[in-house]
Structure 1
Amino acid sequence: MSYATARQALAERIRYVPDFPAEGVVFEDLTPVLADGEALKVIVDELAEAVKRMGAEMIGGLDARGFLLGSAVAYKLGIGVLAIRKKGKLPPPVFSAEYELEYGSAALEVPGSGVDLEGRKIALVDDVLATGGTLCAARSLLEQVGANVVGNALVLEVQGLGGREKLEDLPLVVLNNGDIA
């Protein structure tokens, strides 16, 4: 099937799972979307267009689905991708930033050597915007190492969790909302 927009692909291919991961929550599963070549193509195309308008020269893909999407966007644009990993997944040396989650804390890491991030314009790419904590931590981490985060590009947004408000000072594109950078 061919999709005119990412919003159409998402509307037709997302699998809704009630009461997961907790009672009262409806999980929006992107697996069927990513497994559909036409849906994946339109999503990557729209993310790439948003990132291009942000002026990015590198993608920061957040662990783990941001790796998939970010890599595809970077390939389409002919730019590099940086995997922003969860703590403990990279060999030392690393730069690390801790952040709070609704159920505890976590940390993100990037390589401490081998990749020059000083002054690089990086767009963050991920699958879902919820509270915004992970994106804020990724931005903080990249800014600590001298990079310039130029925007955020995501596929889905969970409404009512305040994530958008934490990211208002940068361009933000969320495909299921029809945002434009």
Structure 2
Amino acid sequence: MITLSKTEREIIESSIRDIKDFPKEGIIFKDITTLLNNKEAYGVLMNHLYQRYKEYSLDYVAGIDARGFIFGAALAQMLGLGFVPIRKKGKLPYTTISQKYALEYGVDEIEVHIDAFGEQKGAKVLIIDDLIATGGTANAAAELVNQTGAECIECCFIIGLSFLEGIKKLEEKTKVYSLIEVN
């Protein structure tokens, strides 16, 4: 398994900005916009992801709405694969299947086109997003991929907030790779 070198980790970590008390007091928000506009850091990140996943025999890369689209679409193109968006409810134009998941207060729902992974049963899919916290959205995304007849091979996150235990919960369903773990 390919993991980040110390130098790669330092380049990527130093390009992510912490915003205190956003979106509410007590939260330290991990802002990836500074990673995206740093051509060296974004290049190191995307090259690392390409090197890690080029031997996985994947069929598709799926990105979780919305920041997962940024990394997922670029990685899919680099790997010569199709990209599938996993969207919030009501955003896809064709027939969909959906999966609900719990939020701190209430529920939300994501969906994917019923034919997103083609006619091939058992298509191998990598799910990618910028961050995993409590894991609700990621768990729902993995469930959704599996409901289509495809197989979630791994979930990849740029940042994993391991102290919230979403990673541990998701590992019950699939392999999980977080480039940077925050304890």
Q: For the residues of structure 1 that align with 2:49 and 2:18, how far apart are their CA atoms?
A: 22
Contact 1:51–1:151 (Cα < 8 Å) also in 2: no
Residue 161 (structure 1) aligned with residue 164 (structure 2): yes
Q: For the residues of structure 2 that align with 1:166 and 1:137, how far apart are their CA atoms?
A: 11
Secondary structure of the structure 2 residue equivalent to 1:176: strand
Instruction: Name which of 28, 31, 38 aligns with 2:30.
Output: 28
Secondary structure of the structure 2 residue equivalent to 1:42: helix
Contact 2:12–2:44 (Cα < 8 Å) also in 1: no
Q: CA deviation at 1:50?
A: 2.8
Paired residue for 2:142?
Answer: 139
Q: For the residues of structure 2 that align with 1:126 and 1:5, how far apart are their CA atoms?
A: 22
Q: For the residues of structure 1 that align with 2:117 and 2:34, how far apart are their CA atoms?
A: 34
Q: 1:103 to 1:129 in 2, by over 3 A?
A: same
Paired residue for 2:180?
Answer: 176
Q: Which amino acid aligns with 1:31?
A: T
Contact 1:50–1:153 (Cα < 8 Å) also in 2: no
Paired residue for 2:39?
Answer: 37
Percent identity for Structure 1 against Structure 2: 38
Q: Which stretch shows the higher mean deviation, 91-100 or 27-36?
A: 91-100
Paired residue for 2:84?
Answer: 82
Q: CA RMSD in A?
A: 2.0
Q: How many residues align?
A: 176
Paired residue for 1:96?
Answer: 98
Q: 1:92 to 1:131 in 2, by over 3 A?
A: same
Q: 1:38-96 CA distances to partner (integer Å, 9 max, x unpaired)? A: 11111112222333354322101110010010011111111111011110001131111
Q: 1:148 to 1:113 in 2, by over 3 A?
A: closer
Could you tell me which runs of 5 or more consecutive residues in structure 1 were left unpaired when the two chains were aligned. none
TM-score by length of 2: 0.88
Q: For the residues of structure 1 that align with 2:74 and 2:162, how far apart are their CA atoms?
A: 26
Q: CA deviation at 1:159?
A: 2.9
Q: For the residues of structure 1 that align with 2:83 and 2:36, how far apart are their CA atoms?
A: 19
Contact 2:126–2:155 (Cα < 8 Å) also in 1: yes
Contact 1:65–1:126 (Cα < 8 Å) also in 2: yes
Could you tell me which runs of 5 or more consecutive residues in structure 2 were left unpaired when the two chains were aligned. none
Instruction: Name which of 121, 143, 157 aligns with 1:118.
Output: 121
Q: Which amino acid aligns with 1:112?
A: I
